[in-house]
Each structure stands twice: as C-alpha cells, then as structure tokens.
Structure 1
Amino acid sequence: MCRLRTASAGNLTTMQSVEVTARLDASRTSAVQVLIADCEAIDGFRPVSDQFWIDLAGDDHDVVRVLLIDRHHPDDRGIVQGCAQAGLTAGSWTVETVLHPALRPQLAQLATMMLRAMSDALRHRNSAEWSWLVFAPTPAHDAVAAAFALSPTRRLYQMTRPLPTGLTFDITTRAFVPGQDDEAWLRVNQRAFAWNPEQGGWTLDSLRARIAEPWFDPNGFLLHERDDRLAGFCWTKVHADNTPPLGEIYVIAVDPDFHGLGLGRQLTLAGLEHLARLGITHGMLFVDADNTAAVGLYDKLGFSVHRTDCVYHGRIGRSDTDANAPTSRRPA
C-alpha cells in the first residue's frame, strides 16, 4: 500500500491510499457504484463501460481492482474516492478509471497513483500489454497516458440524432429468443467482428451476462434472416435513467457472407424505428473513428459526433522514467 498527500478539494481532502484487490465485498462494491453515479450526475453519462459494470459485481479471477481511499474519514475503512479496474480480454488488459468529481483538479496526480499501482499488480500476470479506456479524455488524461508510455491507438465516436428519423426502409426482423438464438448470434458476431477481439471475443457467458442485465429487452434485439441463416442483427438498448431517456444501437453487424446488400443501413433504421416506437426521442451509437465507411453511413442517416472516447495502449511496466518524449496526443 502506498500513500500520497493531496491538496484540499472541498470536503474531500488530505491523504489517499490505494488498495489492490481481486475481489470487492458488498460494501466496497456499493461504494464504487455510488461513486460512478456521482460522476454520471455531473457528466450526463456513465463514465465506465458495460463490461466494467458487469465485472464490478462479479467474481472473475481475471479482474484486478485498485481503490483510492481517503483514510481521514470516520469510517475505519475509509471512503472510496476513486477506482481503477482491469479486465483481461484476448490476452490484453483493459483498464478503466473513475475519480470523484470533486477531485478532478488532482486528476493527473491521483490517476497516476492508481495506474502505477495497477501496473505493479499486472506486471506479474499473464500479459505484457494493457490499454486504458477513457471516456471524454482531457489534456490531463493525455499527460498521464504519456507518462506511462501509453499511446492513443483507438478513438470512439458517440454519434447521436433525434428520433424518429422519417426515413424509410424495407427489411424483415424478428426478436431474439434467449436460449434458442444464442449460438447463431455468437457465430455471426465472431465473424463480423473478427478484427475486434473485444467484441468478437464474446462467449456464451458474455452474452448471458448482458441478457441478465435489467435493461435487456429481447424485443429490441432484432434479427434478420436470409436463406434460413442469421444474416445480421441490430441490438438496441434503452438508457431509461437518462433525462430524457436515450436509445442506443448497442451492437449491430452483418455476416460477411451478406455484405454488399445494404443491410447495415436497413438494420440501423429498423433499430431506430423500434426505439422511436417506445417513445424515445434521441438515438445514439458508438463507432470507431477510423471506420470511415460506417461513420459515413451514420452521417448520411443524420447522426453527428457528440463525444469522443479514447483507448491508450502500451506495454505494462513502462512509466514516466521510460518515456522521456511525449507519446500521446489529444484525440481529434
């Protein structure tokens, strides 16, 4: 355990320490969930991925957590002011961090503290590489990433548009049936996302974990079949806690055997129409910034970029002592 004195930030003050653990008890899990809710209330979006959220309450041995604790608190265990969590996907660790909004002026110092503890914990594990996923990064995030020799390797656009679209489409879909369509969906997902281990590496457990989430609605999980095969799908998600509620194209893909038929456009519009029928007035999706074909399609469908997220990547164990020159830049 290491300790670091920090400047005062309102009532959140003085001294933080880090705890590295593979498991959280119910009290610590709840504290991190409250921390995430505090950030969401300020930012208007949840600052962690669905995978982070699922892993947070899980007991996976391939998850490592670092908690930032204020020890100057009446609670003997201290108060959780930050959390870093790492999960192993396709042989590489993905780290996400969350910090209480009142401590953001000290982001560079405190994020460095959590990432250094995480680096020390991961260097003895079974991967030499790690990525840091940051939602809406700032120059402070860029500086921290550079200090760990992490370079921006992937940018994700969150694109939004009002609903309904007023656009026509001609495609037949049906609802996903859990337990019946699982294997067929996994095959198409793996084929369509062979280039993306994070999504293409989903297993039956990954799918079932999402199905178990309270937001899951099979009627919003649209399947399109051709020649007695699953040709493509559009999986939607409603963010009911947003004000107003937000409808997301959660995952969308077409089997490579059915490329060139315009199914991507048709499935997108089918998904957006489903959301509009639920009374949702704003739709959104995430897309890799360098996927120019998809970005171009969504632009033609009336989407615009609302937010840019970034993935920084590098080798575990490198730090500011190894990185004398800047290796990161502000995402465009």
Structure 2
Amino acid sequence: MNPVDFDLTIARRLAGDEVPAVNALIQKVTDADGVRPLSEHVMLHLRYGGDSDVIHAMAWNKSRQLVGYAHLDVTDSVEGSSVEMCVDPQARGLGIATALVTRVQSETPDARLRLWAHGENSAAMALATSMGFTRMRSLVQMRRSLFAPLPEPELPPNISVRTFVQGQDEAQWLTVNSAAFANHPEQGAWDLTALTTRMNESWFDPEGFFVAVDDANRIVGFHWTKVHGGLVSHEHHGEAQHAHHSHGHDPIGEIYVIGVLPDVAGHGLGRALALIGLRYLRSLGLPEAMLYVETDNHSAHKLYESLGFTHWDTDVMFRAPDLSGTIER
C-alpha cells in the first residue's frame, strides 16, 4: 500500500456495517500490540452509542477494508477535544495515523487536541512523539502476584463490608463515588447511566463489588473488582459453578474502582477494602491483579506499593502543538 492508497471518511454516527469493522480493527491491534488502543469509556460508547458530541474518522484501503480509526470527543471545552485511535499493524508507516490526527484536529472547535497513548510501547506513543506532542497526564498500571501472601484486612471500628445490592445501593454509591473522586473529572462525574452501563457488561459480578457501611448502614467506601479475559470457573454460595467469559488471553483481576468518603479517610479503610478485593480475586483462581493510578497520586502509590504492587506500564495523555492559526476550516 502506498501512502496515498487510503481514503478518509468522517461520521457523526457510525453506520451499521462500520461498527463491526471498527471493533474488528480494535481487536486486531490489541492482539498485535498486547494492549487495547482505546479506553473503556470509548469502547462502551462504541458498543452502546450515546455520544452526541463525537466525531469518527476512518481510513479505508482500496479494498474497502478499515485500516485506521480515530474517536474524537469534543465535549470538554476547558481542556480541549481528545482523540483515541488505532491503525492496522500491517498498514503502519504509511502516513495513516498522521492523516487521521491532522483530520480530527481540523474538526475540533478550536484546534486544541489531546491524544491518549495506551502503553509505553504503543504506536500512539511513537506517533505523539514524532508529531511534537507534549505530555500532560500519565496513568500508571501496576501489578502484583496473587500467589504472594496477602495480609489480613483490618477494618476500622464500627465498619463492616458486604456486597453491592442492585436496585438498592445505586443512588448512595453514586454519592460516595462523587465525593471520593471530587478532583477526578472522569470518575467523579459518573451518573446512573454510567453505572448501569458497566453493570450490564458481561464481566460484571456483584459478588466482586464490595461496599463498606457504618453502623447506620451508610455506605462509606467501596471496592469494585473486575476480571479481564481467560475462562475462570468458580461458584458462589448457593449457586452452581459458572465461568467468566474468555477474551482469548490469560485472566487477570483488577482493582477497578476503590474509594472512601473523605470524612472517614485516614483510618485504614482503603487498605482493608483493597485487601478484601484482592483476596476475592485470588479465590477465583486468578494469578495476578492490576490497577491504574494517576502518576501524581502519591498517597495511592504508597498504599499500593505497600500491598506489593509494582509498575507495569504507563498510559500517557499528550497535548498537540497549538495549530489554531494554521488549520483551515
């Protein structure tokens, strides 16, 4: 394929035949690179729709095969639009990624653009560097073996832990989540739709969603775990043995979201919740656990390192050079 042997198309909403083409490309890139090129937020919107302020850019070869995709979110008027993208591994080095970025930047309201690169060795990381983008935010992925010993969790006085009850805990959990992540623009902004969408995913298991309650049955903290990939068979009390869906790679557990109300923080509840969730993941037969944490969240880093987690990889958000005076509209 020559650098000119592809066509770019722009859409506000993906057509019926474009959705499976995008999903197939994402899977192909994931298999080749060992890391998914798009975030969970983008994947959920691709699956369920609902994004009104999104622009999809697609690169097609002459055989009408999708070889590049970019998802542009223009909703953030403060920080600027953000893009996540991927290119077929067999079509890299032909200018497709650069063409996609240039095109979506021309579609932004003010030419400001941020780009997520998932994984230190990802193609997006190399692209951002080559185009003169600057780092603005980093998420560290940490991992630990579940074969290594786990201390006994020690809950603060008057606190107990149970599992999340669907149809009962949603409103109270959202309140706690908003308070715990008041300074986190993405997590703290979750609403009932965002919560329900994730609970409707095939990986969701309420047995791995723990909430800490005080004597008044007020939720004061939580630990939501997640299982990625593999075929993990287990059983819950009173249920027949069942298995988690396989995604074609070794299974791994995740500290998906963990949070504590600010007024009860500092008494070891976060550590206890983390250990309860990790013990649950180990009970499923999982060999390893992972998590994501902001690079500058030093207290969280200290906690996770004390629990045996070490650095595994880094996701980086880049900011594009200011081209507001050069892009034609």
Q: Which interval holds the TM-score relative to the shorter structure?
A: 0.7 to 0.9
- For 1:280 and 1:173, locate their aligned partners in 2 and report how far apart those are by CA, in whole Å: 22
Larger mean Cα displacement after TM superposition, 191-200 or 159-168: 159-168
CA contact (8 A) 1:135 1:309 kept: yes
- 1:208–1:87: structure 2 CA closer, same or farther, 3 Å change rule? farther
2:68 is equivalent to residue 82 of structure 1: yes
- 1:90–1:38: structure 2 CA closer, same or farther, 3 Å change rule? same
Q: How many pairs does the alignment contain?
A: 301
Opposite residue 101 of structure 2, the aligned amino acid is L
- 1:282–1:24: structure 2 CA closer, same or farther, 3 Å change rule? same
Opposite residue 158 of structure 1, the aligned amino acid is Q
- For 2:165 and 2:148, locate their aligned partners in 1 and report how far apart those are by CA, in whole Å: 27
2:144 is equivalent to residue 161 of structure 1: yes
Aligned to 2:299, what secondary structure does the other structure show?
A: helix
Aligned to 1:105, what secondary structure does the other structure show?
A: coil
CA contact (8 A) 1:55 1:63 kept: no
Q: What are structure 2's unaligned runs of at least 5 residues?
A: 230-246
- For 2:113 and 2:186, locate their aligned partners in 1 and report how far apart those are by CA, in whole Å: 13
1:1-332 correspondence runs (5 A): 5-6=2-3, 15-57=5-47, 58-70=49-61, 72-73=62-63, 78-88=64-74, 91=77, 92-106=80-94, 109-123=95-109, 129-138=112-121, 141=124, 144-145=127-128, 150-166=133-149, 167-171=151-155, 172-228=160-216, 229-240=218-229, 241=247, 243-313=249-319, 317-318=323-324
Aligned to 1:168, what secondary structure does the other structure show?
A: coil
- For 2:173 and 2:147, locate their aligned partners in 1 and report how far apart those are by CA, in whole Å: 27
Q: What are structure 1's unaligned runs of at least 5 residues?
A: 7-13, 323-332
- 1:243–1:141: structure 2 CA closer, same or farther, 3 Å change rule? closer
Cα shift readout 1:257-299 (whole Å, capped 9, x = no counterpart): 1111111111111111111111111100001111111112111
Opposite residue 294 of structure 1, the aligned amino acid is A
CA contact (8 A) 1:160 1:285 kept: yes
Aligned to 1:296, what secondary structure does the other structure show?
A: helix
Q: State the percentage of identical aligned residues.
A: 36
- TM-score, normalization: structure 1? 0.83
Post-superposition shift, 1:149? 6.3
Larger mean Cα displacement after TM superposition, 143-152 or 222-231: 143-152
CA contact (8 A) 1:89 1:198 kept: no
CA contact (8 A) 1:129 1:314 kept: yes
Please report the RMSD computed on the Cα atoms of aligned residues, expressed in angstroms.
2.4
CA contact (8 A) 1:123 1:317 kept: no
Opposite residue 102 of structure 2, the aligned amino acid is R
- 1:317–1:147: structure 2 CA closer, same or farther, 3 Å change rule? farther
Opposite residue 224 of structure 1, the aligned amino acid is A
Aligned to 1:31, what secondary structure does the other structure show?
A: helix
